[in-house]
Amino acid sequence: MWDFTPPGSVRRELTRRAYSIARVIVYEPSMRYALLGKTGSGKTLFSLVLVSLLIPMDSVGWECWWCDTKDYAPDLDELHRWGFRERGTKAASLTPRKLILLRGTDAEVVEAAQAVAREAMERTAVLLVFDEWAHVVVSTQRAGQGIERAQKSGRGKIGLLGGVQEPVLTPRVLFSQASVLALFNLTHRGDIEIAQKLCPYYAPNWPKEDEDPLPDPHGFWLKWLDGHSGDGRWAYWPSVQEWRASVRT
């Protein structure tokens, strides 16, 4: 049986740990970032804030290629507000934040994503963002040749940032070998079990009557997996805003 919400004292201790660890963390565009969480849990906001820190609008050299597979109008509007422009347009030539629309059948989207990953490897200095890993991988066991090569051979050349709503549908290597792993709110039993195997403290941020204060629905657990970043321990952030205030790049 799960203890769905960790005791407030545990969450507060992990928050104190977060601020302690944050003093030695430096985020870099060439790192691998994996975000697990359901729709509306805060993954997109986290990604946008991180991209804004790593790839400022006046960035010279590094670019961010945001691959959209959902075709969800509110998300596209938000991306435009954060300075993303459709690649191939005149407006995109004026910004380092490119929006790549992956459309078509499931197979066509997967093939297009693999091609973008190969292109990023050729260019280098690209932070490649996939809004939903499950839409662009070949299967639950294989990420595909282009993405696998970027994951294994692209360190120091390109960065990867990917989100997934249902980690059971995604090759484990995409988050087990990440530089930074963030666990947001999840719903389904199998997904929660995966998160709990990764993080012993993990529990969905579902309010309980005896919780004081109630957990923020956008709170998340964060771990730095690279040896040079942090101390390899889990920390809890009550919100993306509090995390943002701690970030150094």
Structural domain boundaries of the chain? 8-246
The more confidently predicted of residues 119 and 240 is 119
Rounded Cα–Cα distance for residues 75 and 4 (Å):
29
pLDDT for residue 202? 87
Q: pLDDT at residue 71 above 50?
A: yes
Rounded Cα–Cα distance for residues 28 and 134 (Å):
25
Answer yes or no: are the C-beta atoms of 94 and 158 closer than 8 Å: no
pTM value > 0.85: yes
pLDDT for residue 209? 47
- The average pLDDT across 153-163 equals 94
pLDDT-derived band at 195 (thresholds 50, 70, 90) equals very high
- The average pLDDT across 66-94 equals 96
Average pLDDT of the chain to the nearest whole number: 87
pLDDT-derived band at 238 (thresholds 50, 70, 90) equals confident
Token pair listed for 224: 């730095």
Provide φ and ψ at 181, rounded to 5°: -120, 125
Confirm or reject CATH 1.10.10.60 for domain 8-246, answering yes or no: no
Q: pLDDT at residue 229 above 90?
A: no
